Chain A
Amino acid sequence: MGEMALVEIEDVTYWYPRSGEPALRGVSLELEEGEFVLVTGPTGCGKTTLLRLLNGLVPRFHGGRMAGRVLVEGRDTRRVEPGELARRVGMVFQDPEDQLITTTVEREIAFGLQNAGLPSPLIAKRVEEMLAGLGLSRLRDRFIPGLSGGEAQKTALAAALALHPALLVMDEPTSQLDPLGAEELLTLVRRIHEETGTTVVMTEHRLERCYHYATRVLHMREGRIVFDGSPREAALWCAVNDDDFAPPVARVFVRAGWEDTPLTVNGARTLLRESGCLNGKPREGMIPPEAGGRDLIGKGKASELARLHGVHYRYPGGKTALRGVDLDLRPGGHLALLGENGAGKSTLLRCLLGLLAPDRGKVSLMGKRPTPRLLPELAPLLAYCPQNPSSFFVASTVREELLRTMRLRGREGKAAEEEADGILTRLGLEGLAGRDPRDLSSGEREKVVLAAALMSPPPRLLVLDEPTRGLDHPSKREVIEILGECGERDSTLLLVTHDVEFAASVAERAALMGCGAVIAEGPSFEVLGDSLFFSPQVNRLLGDICPGVMREEEAVKFLREARENCGR
């Protein structure tokens, strides 16, 4: 008799309560000990349900109907005590805010151990072990609401690992984190996998972050596993069949007709070097620096639209958030504001919108000093998309939400209703018109907020705070298309983001913030291209041989020519 698999899923079909369509359809799968499995697929394809199947939350917690069975270490998850299963399968959820239960880090780690009935000395030992092992010792007494997203997610990971599970399940654990926090968490997970041999099953949208860590990739569509293989095979398969879900480096190589599919920048450069494509001088002029063809400085005067001059702001708690910020937004320009957490980006936005009054310096918005009382007057000219779309929604349906926006912009009646219906159809949201916007997926919610921003009259200034947070690649592509439409209407765009790929695709100007000041500002290809960490992956791959390359299409064009020249 062969060795028993850690997890066996046998022909599982699962329906959520009150749902006619199954979330999983005939899924069969075996997971061996020590694997690092990455599950990919579009939103709603059943990834999260598959993960919840592994620790019995489906169907025990969520209810519904299930056919087939799931065995963890040979035992049916529907027959094992939930507490016992929790000791073998650790789970980390998407949003750190929604999974931490107690008030301090060490109490959080102890929570599961207490539930498992472990004696107090053993709890103390395990807590200490986790604090030291995951570098959380300095946070042991910290109040959980005061932790950063990355710290909170590390705490959730420590709490799951404290039970010494055989299987660690992670559902998009970095989707709410900034790039630094995400990188730190994934490095930690990789270390745990390598040093302890714990089996890891993970879903993740930013594939370039973790594809190369995986030993196996499962690709899902409509509740089924449509591909199961090694990361290299999966990258090739996805690049050909479902190119949104291949890592960006692999995608550009496959699209350029290369047979090899490197997964990392280093792997890709090695391939180019071996092919002789990295030899020779930089190929200037191949990609025009003003790629995209947009006017780099916009039109007209900044004072007409928005300007911050020498703005200082210090929070009542004592933290100085802005130190003499100067920034001009010219009509028609698209500016991306980048920088790590705490650099002052959000404070800058709040000062610009008049939600905070600066301590020193001048702010001008549409030629006036912005205040909360002025904002209703500016509603027809200004659209703001917050970081968390949920804080935008106050109506009970998507359609009502759009009509509310129209009302605030001074438009009501039949014409407004027709326009709302028209824009929902144009963005493919007509099926969601009657749904509660808070029940939608992250991508759908972002699209609804953008739909509201696109209502007429078109805003002169569109302010977006982290619009791609938690979005998968297809949703991000759709957001880029919608923003392209804003550009066509001559709206000015101010974008705050951590996503350099997105910034490079959307904005022709970029500003880098640090310690409350604008450190660098200029055309995107200069600010982002001349950077090791704040540059798109294709620029890190080809920037030194093809200056100005910022977008995938440009990289594909270069690689295609390089392949032809190298005779591959």
Chain B
Amino acid sequence: MLPVYRRADTLVHGLHPLAALLLVAVLATTSLLSADPVWAGAAFLLTLAFIGVSGNWGGCRPFLRLGMWMAGAMALINPLVNHQGVHVLVYGPRLPGWGHLNITLEALLYGIFAGVRVFTVIAACGLLAVAVNPDELLDLLSRLALRSSLAAALAVRLYPGMVVEAARMRETQLARGERLEEGGPWKRLRSHLPLWQSLLRGSLDRAASIAEAMSSRGFGSGERTTWRKRTFQPRDLLTALSCLVVLGSLLAARLAGPAYSFFPTPDDPLRSWGPLMPFLPAAGMLSLTFLAWGWRSWHWLRSRI
């Protein structure tokens, strides 16, 4: 079961949804948009450090596990399907319609690089899921699309109930004597089908009941107001500034020269960086980690931000 938002005392939980959204966007996009292994590595380390220091390690663990599997799969599969690169590590057999199954150092490095990027994006999304209040986030987005935001909020609200209901149904059917645990994947899939159908039917009934409850509370009748509970605090400003520094550095690095390439041989990772460039993103990233640490461990700092 994927984790869902839980109230906790961490910096991310205490941020204004706009600042929290910016933070997660920076963690994800830094890794996703950059073709540079130094950036990707830094984003990877920052994301892990930030999740750990901000106290969200436990909540994000299922996402980190998923990210690890996906990163591992990419690192393994890429060298098998990508034959670019000049340094051949293993000479494989020739496969009909495929060619030589050679594994190159460059393809292996690129696979690891792609895996690290995917891992970072999944971890950042995990942080968003467990530490940012979906109601507040969707309230923020509701100016653009109220109904879609509400639908998303309802999905977040109903998902845990659906998981519990699915587990309850499975247990009941097992106790009834259904052979749900037997056979291969195909047989198991078939034996679970009636349960899923029933679960879907139950979810549709629940959706109709929720719609009725919404109607009884005046939803869809007249202008709706928003309730802004949080105001922008110094911590939000500091977080946003740090994020902007990191994003700005990334854009500057992208504009400074051609994109990094692994093939035919990997480029020099620092070739397009000016003398001060590494300090800017490092400062931004460190200040984010420092804020997360201060929120938990330094009362003076916390009381002032």
Contact = CB atoms under 8 A, between A and B. Distances in A.
A391 interface: yes
Contacts of B227: 107, 110, 113-114, 120, 123-124, 127
Contacts of A355: 171, 174-175
Contact of A114 (B133, B154, B224): B224
Contact of B225 (A118, A350, A463): A118
A118 B226 CA distance: 9
A438 B225 contact: no
A98 interface: yes
A97 interface: yes
Interface stretch (A179-187, A197-205, A333-341, A368-376): A368-376
Contacts of B202: 390, 438
Interface bin, chain A: 35 or more
Interface string B198-237: 1001100110011111111111111111111100000000
Given A82-B221, A355-B175, A390-B202, A99 B210 contact: yes
Contact of A120 (B175, B178, B216, B225): B225
Contacts of A87: 218
A120 B135 contact: no
A164 B46 CA distance: 49
A107 B7 contact: no
A102 B135 contact: yes
A91 interface: yes
Interface in B155-198: 156-157, 160-161, 165, 168-169, 171-182, 194-195, 197-198
A103 B172 CA distance: 28
Interface in A71-90: 81-87
Nearest to A352: B175
A409 interface: yes
A376 B178 contact: yes
B5 interface: yes
Given A142-B7, A438-B201, A115 B174 contact: no
A83 B160 contact: no
Contact of B6 (A112, A143, A386): A143
Contacts of A372: 174, 180-181
Which bracket fits the contact residues of B? 35 or more
B134 A391 contact: no
B153 interface: yes
Contact of A408 (B7, B133, B178, B220): B178
Contacts of A386: 168, 171-172, 175
Interface stretch (A303-311, A392-400, A478-486, A507-515): A392-400
Nearest to A407: B177
B215 A82 contact: yes
A384 interface: yes
Contacts of A394: 169, 173, 194-195, 197-198
A391 B175 contact: no
B40 interface: no
A93 B211 CA distance: 12
A120 B139 CA distance: 13
Given A82-B218, A82-B221, A111-B217, A102 B174 contact: no
A83 B173 CA distance: 43
A55 B210 CA distance: 16
Contacts of A144: 157
A102 B195 contact: no
B51 interface: no
Interface string B122-139: 000000000001110000
B4 interface: yes
Contact of B5 (A55, A103, A373): A103
22 contacts: A57-B216, A60-B215, A61-B216, A83-B221, A84-B221, A91-B216, A95-B209, A97-B206, A98-B209, A103-B134, A106-B229, A110-B227, A114-B224, A116-B222, A119-B225, A124-B227, A141-B7, A160-B217, A163-B217, A353-B175, A405-B176, A408-B176
Given A93-B209, A111-B217, A119-B225, 13 more contacts: A61-B212, A82-B218, A101-B157, A103-B135, A114-B227, A117-B224, A124-B229, A127-B227, A378-B177, A386-B172, A395-B194, A408-B176, A438-B205
The 8 closest A-B pairs by CB, nearest first: A379-B177, A83-B221, A86-B218, A98-B209, A83-B218, A99-B213, A384-B175, A408-B177
